[in-house]
Homo-oligomer: A and B are copies of this chain.
Amino acid sequence: MVPQLQLIGVTGLPEIQTGDNLAKLISQAANAQGTELQSGDILIVTQKIVSKAEGNVIDLGQIEPSTLAKEFATQYDKDPRLVEVVLRESRRVVRMDRGILVVETKHGFICANAGVDASNVPGDERVSLLPVDPDLSAQRIRSELKASLGLTLGIIISDTFGRPWRMGNTDIAIGVAGINPLLDYTGQTDINGYTLRVSVSAIADEIASAAELVAGKLTQIPVAIAKGYPYVQNEEATARSLVRDGSMDLFR
């Protein structure tokens, strides 16, 4: 059998407002463009619209920066209120150097600026934060689609992260529902009878990256549908399993 995977961007979504029902808006938009959602499909939803729907957007005008935020901002020509928001969203600063602020977020993700972002947020001084619990955000969308359409989908909430050592960003999974984010080959044998030692694929991150290729940052396509990937369904799945434990990490 020839393995095939299809990624389809979902166009025509309106600007998302606090309280919007994302599942409903996404299924309507998919329908309007002639894409049929089916059980087994994976829906990849970018963080920004999830944060908007959940009201996780703040106005920098209400932020009083700390001395630490002001110092860093002055040194590197940044908005001290934005630096303050980043620090408030963090539980640990990993690197604060050369104008780059890499932190561990409240969720445990390690990324630049704690995922705080001003792009694609209407209003001059408004920035989006990461969802409070991206797995729960994913579960809500999944439950809603099951209830309204009777479909069982995998859901991935994605965001755009940088990486050490490599140029350019890739999209990764910050929340999942219904889909195992890791695929473990450990102990299985290859075609020559060689037993694979530690070999785990971060398939949720790979799917998020694939989705970014049809979503894009300028075209307001914040959702993609993946069809044809035979994932392991798991009701207990969480994107926290994609986070390496600090004690096992050589680069914190």
Contact = CB atoms under 8 A, between A and B. Distances in A.
Interface of A: 1-9, 11, 33-35, 95, 97-98, 100, 102, 109-110, 118-123, 160, 163-172, 181-183, 185, 188-192, 194, 196, 199-203, 205-207, 209-210, 212-221, 229, 241-244, 248-252
List 6 tightest A-B contacts by C-beta distance, closest first: A168-B202, A210-B210, A164-B251, A206-B209, A3-B9, A209-B209
Contacts of A215: 3
Contacts of A5: 6-7, 210, 213-214
Given A122-B192, A192-B121, A169 B2 contact: no
A118 B249 CA distance: 24
Contact of A212 (B34, B191, B201, B213): B201
B7 A2 contact: no
Nearest to A124: B194
6 contacts: A3-B219, A165-B251, A166-B243, A166-B244, A168-B182, A189-B218
Q: Is the interface of A mostly helix, strand, loop or mixed?
A: loop
- How many monomers of this chain does the complex have? 2
Given A119-B196, A192-B121, A212-B206, A172 B167 contact: no
B250 A35 contact: no
B209 A196 contact: no
A119 B190 CA distance: 7
B217 A206 contact: no
B218 A188 contact: yes
Nearest to A102: B250
B206 A210 contact: yes
Contacts of A166: 172, 202, 205, 242-244
A217 B169 contact: no
A205 B168 contact: yes
Contact of A199 (B4, B217, B221): B217
A100 B3 CA distance: 33
A205 B213 CA distance: 11
Contacts of A200: 167-169
